[in-house]
Amino acid sequence: MNHMAVININEVITHLLPGQTIAGLDLGKKTIGIAVSDRGLTFSNPRSVLQRKKFTVDARTLIQIFDRENVGVVIIGLPLNMNGSSGPRAQATRTFVNNMEAYTEIPFVFWDERLSTIAAERSLLEMDVSRAKRATRIDSAAAAFILQGALNRIQNLHYMEG
């Protein structure tokens, strides 16, 4: 089995077959937020949040979703610190993607969350004491933000190339 690659945002189009979609993931400690693009790669649609279990279980569930949604590329939010350094959450995200290699050939793209409105939203959430009790749909909203930011970039790259 070929191993999946980690690719750059500007390589995404070359990895997609006609009709394939792009998924966005927001990795939390307890949940994984999931969003999927339309076939036109214009809109990001949040899907239900995955409650995390063991990695092997989560990986299989994600693969089923990717198959069902005809996903060709996965964008995963990389939660870098504001100064661009990697903290424990960014490291956990990289480890997660490395571990996914055994399960799928779908390429992943790390998306710097600082490039989207999610960074501000997340810092507000982290200051909020009721964060643990907040509705899980915020996690898929975060995944949708990540994916939408990436889709916008892909559209722009596509237009620039004509």
CA distance 35 to 85: 26
| DSSP-derived secondary structure for 120-151 | HHHHHHHH-GGGGGS-THHHHHHHHHHHHHHH
pLDDT for 116 equals 61
Torsion 45-28-86-21 (CA) sign: negative
Torsion 113-116-122-123 (CA) sign: positive
pLDDT for 29 equals 87
* 3-state class (DSSP) for residue 110: strand
On whether the pTM is more than 0.75, the answer is: yes
CA distance 66 to 53: 18
pLDDT for 129 equals 45
Answer whether 104's CB lies under 8 Å from 71's CB. no
CA distance 156 to 148: 12
CA distance 136 to 66: 21
pLDDT for 59 equals 98
H or E element in which residue 59 lies:
helix 55-68
Task: List the chain pLDDT tens, one digit each, 162 residues.
Answer: 456 789 999 999 999 999 999 999 999 889 999 999 999 999 999 898 999 999 999 999 999 999 999 999 999 999 888 788 888 989 999 999 999 999 999 999 999 887 665 655 666 566 554 555 555 456 678 898 899 999 999 998 877 765
Q: Which residues partner with 111 through β-bridges?
A: 77
Delineate the domains of the chain, giving CATH numbers in brackets.
9-161 (3.30.420.140)
